[in-house]
Structure 1
Amino acid sequence: MAIHKLFEDDFEEDNYTLIAIHCSAEDYRLAYLLNSNLNLKLARKQEDLDYNYMEASFSIYEWDDEKNFVTWNLVTNTSRKEVERIASAGSLFSEQQGKRTVSKYLIPERKKVDYFVKISTESHLKSPKIIVSKINAIAEVITAYILDANQLKSKNNLIFE
């Protein structure tokens, strides 16, 4: 029986650049602004990203630039959902009945980030700093910066396929 050993070189790493964006604009508005300022064609995907069996849903926009072999994704980091409050019987303080809003995060360790732009390419991205400076030039954007995805605990949430 032959023994096969796996080495790190046997696995192809995803080659992508991750940009964090702080912006209070709605997702469709930011997609429009990115399309206008970066000459992109981001469009909302038919289905949102669903995690934990519909517990959280994140809107996602995508553009596959076949000419340059680059895929662009814009995804929200926050999912807000209204849930019924559960009143516990016999509690010391009476709770009001009604609904409350629960927030879930795509990347929980970066809760203050509003959006992520993931730029996937087969080769090295030539000018990520220029892209970030163009994003920062958008009036509605508070700030944008490059993140090292390898430092994120929940980087597997960035697999959109």
Structure 2
Amino acid sequence: MAVHKLFEDDFEEDNYTLIAIHCSTEDYRLAYLLNTNLNLKLARKREDLDYNYMEASFSIYEWNDEENCVTWNLVANTSKMEVEQTASAGSLFSDQQGKRTVSKYLIPERKRVDYFIKISSESYIKSSKIIVSKINAIAEVITAYSLNPNQLKSKNNLIFE
């Protein structure tokens, strides 16, 4: 039997910067604030990101900066859905039914992060420290910081194509 070895060079390396944002404002408001403070043109995509056969849906904004060959994505980390809640048989309040809210996360190991910015580039982009400092200057943003995507277990959820 032949043995095949895989080398790191066999896989194309991802060229993107990932920024985590903690912010309680709505996604459209954050996109507007990022557009004005970073001179971006983020626009909501027609379809949200759907995972697990529409079990979770995440809003996503995108801008393709063709002049600099950079693609910017703003994506929500949380998807909240209402599900029917049924009481178990034999419980004290068996005839009560209602709805409860269930949260799903794009990156489950970072549940406290509200949004992610993914900056994809074929070539070098300007320093992420400058971008993070401009994001932190926005009054509605609690904090923003760079993340290493290789340290995330669910980094494949950040593939949007």
Q: CA deviation at 1:3?
A: 8.9
Give the equivalent residue in structure 2 for 1:112: 112
Q: CA–CA distance in 2 between the matches of 1:55 and 1:44? A: 20
Counterpart residue identity of residue 140, structure 2: E
Give the equivalent residue in structure 2 for 1:78: 78
1:36-47 aligned at under 5 Å gives the runs 36-47=36-47
Q: CA–CA distance in 2 between the matches of 1:114 and 1:4? A: 41
Q: CA deviation at 1:6?
A: 4.3
Give 5+ residue unaligned stretches, structure 1.
Answer: none
Give the equivalent residue in structure 2 for 1:67: 67
Q: CA deviation at 1:94?
A: 2.5
Give the equivalent residue in structure 1 for 2:93: 94
Q: CA deviation at 1:90?
A: 1.6
Q: CA–CA distance in 1 between the matches of 2:152 and 2:16? A: 14
Counterpart residue identity of residue 40, structure 2: L
- 1:7-62 CA distance string (max 9 Å, x none): 32122111100000000110000000000000000000000000000000000000
TM-score after normalising by structure 1: 0.94
1:115-154 aligned at under 5 Å gives the runs 115-154=115-154
**What's the Cα RMSD here?**
1.5
Q: CA deviation at 1:158?
A: 0.3
Q: CA deviation at 1:4?
A: 7.3
Q: CA–CA distance in 1 between the matches of 2:11 and 2:116? A: 25
Q: CA–CA distance in 2 between the matches of 1:132 and 1:20? A: 9
Q: CA–CA distance in 1 between the matches of 2:4 and 2:24? A: 51
Which region of structure 1 is more displaced relative to structure 2, 27-36 or 80-89?
80-89
Q: CA–CA distance in 2 between the matches of 1:4 and 1:113? A: 39
Counterpart residue identity of residue 122, structure 2: E
**Taking structure 1 as reference, are residues 39 and 102 closer, same or farther at Cα in structure 2, changes over 3 Å only?**
same
| Number of aligned residues | 159
Moved over 4 A (4+): 2-6
Partner SS for 2:86: coil
Partner SS for 1:31: helix
Which region of structure 1 is more displaced relative to structure 2, 35-44 or 123-132?
123-132
Counterpart residue identity of residue 108, structure 1: P
Give the equivalent residue in structure 1 for 2:23: 23
Give the equivalent residue in structure 1 for 2:51: 51
Q: CA–CA distance in 2 between the matches of 1:13 and 1:53? A: 28
Q: CA deviation at 1:64?
A: 0.4
Counterpart residue identity of residue 109, structure 1: E
